[in-house]
Structure 1
């Protein structure tokens, strides 16, 4: 690790946080070098780089290419794609492959001192203008091989290359290298990854732990939001509707904030996962399971804080049985919203798209939760939606666990009824359904976590 840091010239900032690109942390040029360093840790013999100097100014580009030359000095091969480089960057390469539009090769070979081999080859083609003194060979090369120049000269540079001695020499070299050495066994790997599944999962879980621990804005934000929403006490003589309304608003508010807050986390970490999965570090399943599990202790803490503040604030029953049910409902509901957001993010190509879909889902679960329109009053063609909405089971569990077994009489709509009878007739809540409610409250987070894991592995939103 120390050798890699020195090689990439990052040893002076080894303890700095990477941060968010364009917002905080290290610079863009340092991020480029860090990306190269991550690949070097596995000690590869060949490294592929896609436009390593893109988006950098001249000074930063030179710094990156200096690092690339340091890597080459360690007997590693570096293959880069690059567009319109400066003369300093261009002459840092030993060999180049120049392709015209369509992917046809028009030059492949060594550059030579001050690009002499390249210049000699193209100047040897009749009609090609000579390079000016102190002119960038890369710029000249692109100018003289332009399609308009081909049309003007009536030549095909790809065809000329295939008829050249350079092509014949390269072809001969390829034919020699493609023949395996006698006596060598065929290359075979017993496993796809260097570590077993358990080690992959532990590594991803530890990485997620560090990522969450170093993101106080995300973690403290949701805890503070829980306290802000819940310090809204009502009078002690509140009726059942006020209690239901308080519990409902509290749950929807904190749930929606959990759903929306996870979207940028998942979409940003997904980009890193794509690169590391491609490099063969771990499968997407290890990443997904780690991200699912790392949320559990934070959700547990959030649910505990929610319970401590909301339970006395709404003046619910002081019973260990009812407190336990209340905590279980809140814990499963927060998990459900969090994993629902992760599932939405796994199905969306960008954070913006995920945010739109998340807002729509919040509206739908709010509308069909059974509070604004009780289940018995829903149209028959929409009542099925009520039964599949997780929020409806949250409200059912919270209210039924507190009041579903209370036979005290109240006045509801001008009639005297027991609380149990009123909940059953007006909302369709039955205390005997608590076991089913508990099972479904746990099943929904598992369902959404499974969707997140599956589609993270199956869908790829990379734009390259």
Structure 2
């Protein structure tokens, strides 16, 4: 590029912030000055490089989905089932265009027109079933591009119990590279809070359906801040103004506009913007049932439709007009001759609006004849001539921080997120109340007679079963409830799945072991169990082992099913099978079912607790004289003494359940 035509673009973030704050917001990540001179990167005031300018091109993009085959049934032939063959349906039909750095492309269309599908394709999130060509500076999508992309989903997927500051701080610690110190990363998060106008609510929790927190507009800004911490070159937003009032929506779009002006390429779907919002977009794609019916400058859409004979007859929001005609509704719209001929007369010989199908067909055909060739010619004339704009990326996936750092950050974040749930007063009341009830029922129990020994064996059985079921039904909620967050963060390459899994499973242990400690301290001495230091600590360790094993089974069931209702149902069946086949209720179990007790952790926990509490040297009065405790029928033939085999069996189950849970989680489509 010669000096005569060299361009110098200077974008001052503070200037953007002042501009955005005039509307109640500030721009994203903009304290530094961005300079691009002759296509060369100039370091910003704070030492960071500006986002790499990426030209996004898409040529004849189509998307096909497979419709699952189903069985059909007819009342006339109740004993015949016909299987309908699987079919494919094309939902996007050849979309072509481009977006330049500094531009905001709005994707509009009626509900079900394919806006979100198209956005996901551009972001590399739904490439299966796609045909056509999508390039980023003339390079096709690969996983290394994830680092240069930010994706804000329609639903704000955030942890409800974390504050705004904690949410952005942990995102910065996970996403930003080790070239920055911890204090620099935290400062980046603080800068984002200021620039997004979130100072007032920085220490307020995000909140959720049953927890009061920040407002919808603030939540959306947090989601945007979460994505722009790494200065992405490409930013994708799905319905960022959905559910917001017009003023808040204007502020959000102002933030997005300022983000683009910092040198980023921005694509956003939007359903029905106000006229003020509409004219803030640089480019527009209008979709009608997956067909493009307009692509070009947003402020040129009305002129284009006027040139083909479609004009609003009344004062109308441009977005309303465009959505109406894309839906096939031409009420209060002038109709060209081609459509006027298809209009059907009513009883008064007055023409009514033409069928929606004809309107859409006219729009598609006209676009393909009039506008599409021009845009295609512009696209093929567009070349990335500067080598600085070529993506210097490799196919190898690179992580911002080490595995150990990922684990430690996720571990601490998990503790903070779940501390309110695990250490709530309700859980303490529940645990203490159950402990007192159990303590009162078995108050000062003895083993002097067969009946007393049987009662105390029942207490040991209850301890084994209760601390096998309680953690299990808590753990099955873990992965199903965090599926959306896991999919979002893994799609952005925030961390390795193994680091998340280890942090999530180990992070629950300190919190899950608090309640068993309280239970044992109350019940053990109220019920007069074996009062020796060894028996007390071995009982506590056995209960801990019970908790960890059942928790692992809960992780496995949750990871396999990924649905709370299905996981709860399966867990109930598994626990019932383990209890009934362990030999405590039914002595004569069918041979083909006996194997189940050897995979039942309840069986090993109960045996271990019995061996800890009793020994062959103890005697009781059986009515016909004293005999050894080990011969009591209350123990169902359990041999006292030892316990090493049971402990190893439980430790093996702890490992196997978690390994299988990780494999099941790895097989889930979470975007990683």
User: How high is the TM-score relative to the length of structure 2?
Assistant: 0.61
Matching of residue 78 in structure 1 with residue 266 in structure 2? yes
Q: Secondary structure at the match of 1:381?
A: helix
- Cα drift, residue 183 of structure 1: 11
Matching of residue 441 in structure 1 with residue 650 in structure 2? yes
Structure 1 residues 266-281: aligned runs within 5 Å: 266-281=479-494
Structure 1 residues 114-133: aligned runs within 5 Å: 117-125=300-308, 128-133=309-314
Residue 291 of structure 2 is matched in structure 1 by 104
CA offsets 1:115-136 (integer angstroms, 9 cap, x no match): xx101112222xx431234301
- Cα drift, residue 137 of structure 1: 1.2
Structure 1 residues 345-364: aligned runs within 5 Å: 345-364=558-577
| Higher helix proportion (structure 1 or 2) | 1
- Cα drift, residue 34 of structure 1: 1.1
Q: State whether residues 289 and 453 of structure 1, in contact with CA within 8 Å, keep that contact through their aligned partners in structure 2.
A: no
Residue 330 of structure 1 is matched in structure 2 by 543
Q: State whether residues 222 and 257 of structure 1, in contact with CA within 8 Å, keep that contact through their aligned partners in structure 2.
A: no
Structure 1 residues 124-203: aligned runs within 5 Å: 124-125=307-308, 128-147=309-328, 151-152=357-358, 155-164=361-370, 167-177=373-383, 181=387, 186-188=392-394, 191-203=397-409
Q: For the residues of structure 1 that align with 2:517 and 2:319, how far apart are their CA atoms?
A: 64
Query: Cα 1:398–1:142, aligned 2, differ >3 Å: closer, same or farther?
Result: same
Q: For the residues of structure 2 that align with 1:381 and 1:151, how far apart are their CA atoms?
A: 63
Q: State whether residues 241 and 252 of structure 2, in contact with CA within 8 Å, keep that contact through their aligned partners in structure 1.
A: yes
- Cα drift, residue 50 of structure 1: 1.0
Matching of residue 64 in structure 1 with residue 239 in structure 2? no
- Cα drift, residue 279 of structure 1: 1.0
- Cα drift, residue 368 of structure 1: 3.3
Aligned with residue 589 of structure 2, among 367, 378, 384: 378
- Cα drift, residue 335 of structure 1: 1.3
CA offsets 1:132-177 (integer angstroms, 9 cap, x no match): 3430112211222335667446954334333335643444334533
Query: Cα 1:75–1:389, aligned 2, differ >3 Å: closer, same or farther?
Result: same
| Higher strand proportion (structure 1 or 2) | 2
Give unpaired runs (5+ residues) of structure 1.
Answer: none
- Cα drift, residue 208 of structure 1: 0.9
Aligned with residue 45 of structure 1, among 233, 244, 262: 233
- Cα drift, residue 243 of structure 1: 0.9
Residue 225 of structure 1 is matched in structure 2 by 430
Q: For the residues of structure 1 that align with 2:666 and 2:426, how far apart are their CA atoms?
A: 29
Q: For the residues of structure 2 that align with 1:224 and 1:288, how far apart are their CA atoms?
A: 30
Q: Which has the higher contact order (CA 8 A, sep 6+)?
A: 2
Q: For the residues of structure 2 that align with 1:370 and 1:41, how far apart are their CA atoms?
A: 58
- Cα drift, residue 28 of structure 1: 2.7
Residue 176 of structure 2 is matched in structure 1 by none
- Cα drift, residue 254 of structure 1: 4.0
Q: For the residues of structure 1 that align with 2:383 and 2:602, how far apart are their CA atoms?
A: 64
Q: State whether residues 349 and 461 of structure 1, in contact with CA within 8 Å, keep that contact through their aligned partners in structure 2.
A: no
State how many pairs are aligned.
450
Q: For the residues of structure 1 that align with 2:193 and 2:532, how far apart are their CA atoms?
A: 58
